[in-house]
Amino acid sequence: MEETKQYSMIIQWDPNDKIYVVTVPELPGCMTHGYTHEEAIKQGEDAIESWLMVAKELGRPIPTPKTFAA
């Protein structure tokens, strides 16, 4: 799903659990993790897709992706 790439992902290393934690700031409650950076990105994309699919099915508003200044 192409629209998943429009949302930001914050990826942080958790030294206690030894995982990369992914948070999607535009989508409340959208979080996941991966054991490698690459896996975290893939899991993040899957989580975004699932979040959007459920929101659409429930008729909930879809937040607009934000642009963050670099």
Predicted TM-score of the model (pTM) = 0.87
Q: What is the pLDDT of residue 66?
A: 86
Q: Which helix (H) or strand (E) holds 38?
A: helix 37-57
Which CATH number is 11's domain given? Answer: 3.30.160.250
User: What is the count of structural domains for the chain?
Assistant: 1
C-alpha dihedral sign at 28, 2, 34, 55: positive
| Residue 10 belongs to domain spanning | 2-57
pLDDT digits (tens, 9 = 90+) for 6-59: 899 999 999 999 999 999 999 999 999 999 999 999 999 999 999 999 999 999
Confidence of residue 4 (pLDDT cuts 50, 70, 90): low
**CA-angle at 8, arms to 45 and 67, nearest 5°:** 145
Indicate whether 66 belongs to any domain. Answer: no
What DSSP element (H or E) covers 12? Answer: strand 10-14
